[in-house]
Structure 1
Amino acid sequence: MHRRALLTGLAGGLAAAGATPAPAASPGQGEPVVPAVPAAAAGGAAYGVVEGDLPAFHQLLKDELRFPLAWGTSPVRDFRAWRRTARAKVEELLVAGEDDTPYAPEYGERAEADGYTRELVTFALTRYGRVRGALLTPHGRGPFPAVLLLHDHGSRFDIGKEKLVAPWYDDTRLASAREWAARCFSGRFVGDELARRGYVVLAVDALGWGDRGPLTYERQQALASNLFHLGSSLAGLTAREDVRAARFLAGLGRVDRRRVAAVGFSMGAHRAWQTAALSDDVAAAASVCWMTGLKEMMVPGNNTLRGQSAYYMLHPGLARHLDIPDVASIAAPRPMLFFHGGRDTLFSTEGVRAAYGRLRAVWRSRRAGDRLVTEVWPDLGHVFADRMQDEVFAWLDAVL
C-alpha cells in the first residue's frame, strides 16, 4: 500500500517535470488521488525558478500589487482620516516599536565658524543607546528655522553625518568627508552652507555609519536578518530614529518648532520624505535622488535587487497596501520638493515620472499643487550638485 502511494506521488512529480508518468490508481480503489499540477502560469517550470535575483514569477507578484490603501483608491474619503489610517499602517509595519525615552542631551565644547557655531551633542536617540550628533547654530538671535539633515548610503560607512557637516572634531574623517563632498555635493558641505544661511542644522549617524559603525557592504544583510530574528527591523529602526531626531531638533529652545525641514540625498532622500510622512514635527521636506514607483523599481538590473542596502528602506508587507509615493503622500499638503537626475542609473526616469504623477495627483486633490515641486535634471546623475543645492536653499527660504 505504502509503496503504491509513493509511486503515485512520484508520478505526479514526473508529470510536473514534463516526463510521462506511470498510470495512477483509479479513484475509488482506496488510494490517495494526486491532483494534477497545473502548467506554469508564467511559462516557466510549475514550481517556479529563480532568474538572476528575481523569482521567475515576479511579474505575477507585481500584478497582485493593487495598493488598496492609496489615496483615491482607499475607501476612506476624508483626507485627514486617510492620513491617520495610512500612517498607522506604515507604523505597524515598521515592526520597531515607538519610543519616548528622555533625550537627556549633553553638549560638547563650542567652536566658532563663519557665521555659525559648531558643537557636538550626545543624546538618547532611542532606548537602545545614545548617539553623537553634529549641531550647527547660526549667529544671532533665535529662534531659527532648522533642518534635519539625513545622510546617504553610498556604501561608504566610515562617515555618516560627516558627509553633510564638515567634521571639525576629526582630521581623519575630514579627509574622507572632503572626498565624499567632492564626489556628491560639488565640494560643498550642505550642513555648513545651511548654517551660514541662518538654519540650525542637526546631523546624526544611522546605525552602521561613523560613530555607529563602520559596517561593511557584505554585512548589511546579516545585520538586517538578525534584527528581524530579534523582532525588530533595520528599516523600521532607522525610520523611528529619524522621527525621534526630528522631535529632538524641534524641541530645542534655539529652534522655531513650526519651521523644521528634513533634507536628504539618495538614501537620505528616502529618509527625508519618510520622516515627513511619519512626523508632525517636520513642516517641509526636500528629497534629492530617491523617489520612484515600486513596480518600476523591481525590474531586472535595478540596484535594489542586490539586497544589502535595500534593507535600510524595506518594510515587509508594506507594498500590499501602499506604493512608495503613496507613503510620501501622507505628508500632504505640506511643502515637499523632489529632484532627480536624468542620468541617474539607480532609478529609471520612467519610475520617477510615474511616482511624480502620483504625488502631484494627491497634492492637487488638496488644492495644494503649488506646494509640491518635482523636477528631473536631464544632465545630472546621482548627485546633489551645487545647482540643485542652490534651488533647494531658495525653496527652503520661501517655505520656511
Structure 2
Amino acid sequence: MKRRTFVSLAQLSSLSPFLLPDASAASAASTASVSAVSPAAAGAGGGLGLTERVLPAFYQHLKDELTFPLAWGNSRIRDFRAWREAARAQVEESLLLPRTREHVPFRPATVDEQRTDHYLRRTVEFTLSHYGRARGLLLLPHGRGPFPAVLLLHDHGSRFDIGKEKLIRPWGDEARLASAEAWSARYFSGRFVGDELAARGYAVLAVDTLGWSDRGPLTYEDQQALAANFYNLGSSLAGLTAHEDVRAAAFLASLPQVDGGRVAALGFSMGAYRAWQLAALSRDIGAAVAVCWMTTLREMMVPGNNTLRGQSAFHMLHPGLYRHLDIPDVASLAAPRPMLFHAGAQDGLFPPEGVAGAFDRMRAVWESQRAGDRLVTKVWPDHGHVFTADMQDEAFAWLDTWVGA
C-alpha cells in the first residue's frame, strides 16, 4: 500500500512546534511528475474536454475574457499614488489575508549563535503571525551597525527538506548541509547567496515558508491537499505566504543592528515571485532582486508549459486576482522603487515572449514616473533557470548601489 502523508488541521492553524524533516519524502517529491493528457483521451476536439497539461479545452476563451481593467494605463485612475493604493487594496483582498491583522509583537529569541571570521550566525525564532512562531537564519556582519539588510526568499524546486538553508549555509545539521550544498551546486554555482552578502557587509535573514525545512516537509502530492484545506478554511496558502513575507521584512527592519531604511528583498524562482510581490506589498522593502520568475499571464497559460503542472502553483495562486491585474501589473505596485529582474533565455519555465512582454509592461510604468533608471531588466542569453555566480555578482553590485554602504 502506498504510504500517504496527511496534513492535519492542527498543522494548518499553528506554525509551531516545528516539524522534523523527512529526507526520504523530500527526495521522492523531487522526482514527482505530471503526465500530459493526450488529445484523444482529453476530448480535445470538443468544447467540454481537457487539453495538454490539464487546461480546459476552452482555456483560450477564458484568457480572452481577461482584460486587466485595473492595470496602470487601463484603469480610469490617473493619479499614480491613488492608483497604487487602489490596486494594492485589490491585491490584498485577493490574498484572503488573515482576518485578525492587528500588530503582533515579534518577541525574538536566539536559539544558537556562532562566530565566523566575517559575521555572526544566529538561529532565531520570532512570532511570524498571530498563528504562531517560525525559525530563521540570521547573519550579522562584525562591526558597528546599523547595516543594510537583505531578506532572502527561498525557491520551491519540489525540495522540501531544506528551505532557508538553500540560501544560507546551515550549521549543526549534517544532513541538511549535504542537501543544501547539493542545491547550491545545482543552482548557485556552489555559493550560498546569504553568506556572500554577509561577507559584503549586509545583515541577512532567511525564513522557511510553510511546508519547508523546520515547517515541513511536504511531499509533492500534499501541496494540493494543503492548499485545498486552506480554501476550505476561508483562507489561502499563497496569501499566508505573502502575509508572512511582509512580516519577515518588518522583523528584519526592526532589528537594532539593521538600518530600516536600507532593506532589500532577493529571491530566485518562487523566491523571485515572492520578492517582487513583497516589494509591491511592503513599505519596509526599499529595493528588490527577482531572478527567474516573471512573465505575462497569457504567454504563460499555454499547453505544455511546465509552470502549469499544478501543485507548486498553489504557493503563488491568488483566486480572482488576474481578473483585475496581470502579473507584471502586480509587480509594478513597487514603482518607483529600484527593482532588478534577471531571466535566462534558456529557462524552459517562462516563454521568452512572456518575459519580454512583462519587462516592457513594467518599464512603461517606471518610465511614466520618470524612474526608468531604477528598473533593470536583463535576459541572460546562455542561462537557464539558475542564479549563477556571474548573475550574483551583478545583483550584488546593483544592491551596493541602491541599499549598500
TM-score normalized with structure 2 length: 0.87
The residue that corresponds to 1:157 in the other structure is 160
The residue that corresponds to 1:51 in the other structure is 51
SS at match of 1:188: coil
Contact 1:303 1:346 (C-alpha < 8 Å) held by counterparts: yes
Q: How does 1:116-195 map to 2 (within 5 A)?
A: 116-195=119-198
Q: Distance in 1 between matches of 2:125 and 2:370?
A: 42
SS at match of 1:212: coil
Quote the offset at 1:355 in angstroms: 0.2
Quote the offset at 1:45 in angstroms: 3.6
- The question of 1:274 aligning with 2:286 is answered no
Higher RCO (Cα < 8 Å, 6 or more apart): 2
Structure 1 stretches of 4+ moved >6 Å: none
Q: How does 1:227-306 map to 2 (within 5 A)?
A: 227-306=230-309
The residue that corresponds to 1:67 in the other structure is 68
Q: Distance in 1 between matches of 2:253 and 2:276?
A: 17
How many correspondences in the alignment?
357
Contact 1:274 1:328 (C-alpha < 8 Å) held by counterparts: yes
Amino acid in the other structure paired with 2:291: V
- Which structure would you say has the larger Rg? 1
Q: Distance in 1 between matches of 2:354 and 2:194?
A: 29
Contact 1:99 1:126 (C-alpha < 8 Å) held by counterparts: no
TM-score normalized with structure 1 length: 0.88
Q: How does 1:1-400 map to 2 (within 5 A)?
A: 45=46, 48-52=48-52, 53-97=54-98, 98=101, 100-400=103-403
Amino acid in the other structure paired with 2:179: S
Cα deviations across residues 69-105 of structure 1 (Å, max 9, x unaligned)?
0001100100000110010000011002235221111
The residue that corresponds to 2:7 in the other structure is none
SS at match of 1:376: strand
Q: Distance in 1 between matches of 2:145 and 2:330?
A: 33
The residue that corresponds to 2:8 in the other structure is none
**Percent identity of the aligned residues?**
69
Q: Distance in 2 between matches of 1:327 and 1:250?
A: 23
Contact 2:221 2:311 (C-alpha < 8 Å) held by counterparts: yes
Cα deviations across residues 349-386 of structure 1 (Å, max 9, x unaligned)?
11100000001000000000000000000100000000
Contact 1:54 1:300 (C-alpha < 8 Å) held by counterparts: yes
SS at match of 1:340: strand
Quote the offset at 1:109 in angstroms: 2.9
Contact 1:235 1:311 (C-alpha < 8 Å) held by counterparts: yes
Contact 1:207 1:213 (C-alpha < 8 Å) held by counterparts: yes
Contact 2:46 2:57 (C-alpha < 8 Å) held by counterparts: no
What is the aligned-residue RMSD (CA, Å)? 1.0
Contact 1:149 1:201 (C-alpha < 8 Å) held by counterparts: yes
Q: Distance in 1 between matches of 2:75 and 2:392?
A: 36
Cα deviations across residues 8-36 of structure 1 (Å, max 9, x unaligned)?
xxxxxxxxxxxxxxxxxxxxxxxxxxxxx
Cα deviations across residues 184-205 of structure 1 (Å, max 9, x unaligned)?
0000000000000000000000
SS at match of 1:238: helix
Quote the offset at 1:51 in angstroms: 1.4
The range that moved more, 380-389 or 295-304, is 295-304
Q: Call closer, same or farther: CA 1:349–1:99 in 2, change over 3 Å.
A: farther
Q: Distance in 2 between matches of 1:45 and 1:306?
A: 22
Give the gaps of 5 or more residues in structure 1: 1-42
Contact 1:114 1:196 (C-alpha < 8 Å) held by counterparts: no
Q: Distance in 1 between matches of 2:309 and 2:394?
A: 33
Quote the offset at 1:108 in angstroms: 2.4
The residue that corresponds to 1:23 in the other structure is none
SS at match of 2:295: coil
Amino acid in the other structure paired with 2:50: V
Q: Distance in 1 between matches of 2:117 and 2:383?
A: 30
Contact 2:169 2:195 (C-alpha < 8 Å) held by counterparts: yes
Cα deviations across residues 40-93 of structure 1 (Å, max 9, x unaligned)?
xxx9546x2211311111111101100000001100100000110010000011
SS at match of 1:145: strand
Amino acid in the other structure paired with 1:81: A
Contact 2:146 2:259 (C-alpha < 8 Å) held by counterparts: yes
Q: Distance in 1 between matches of 2:108 and 2:401?
A: 31
Give the gaps of 5 or more residues in structure 2: 1-43
SS at match of 1:337: strand
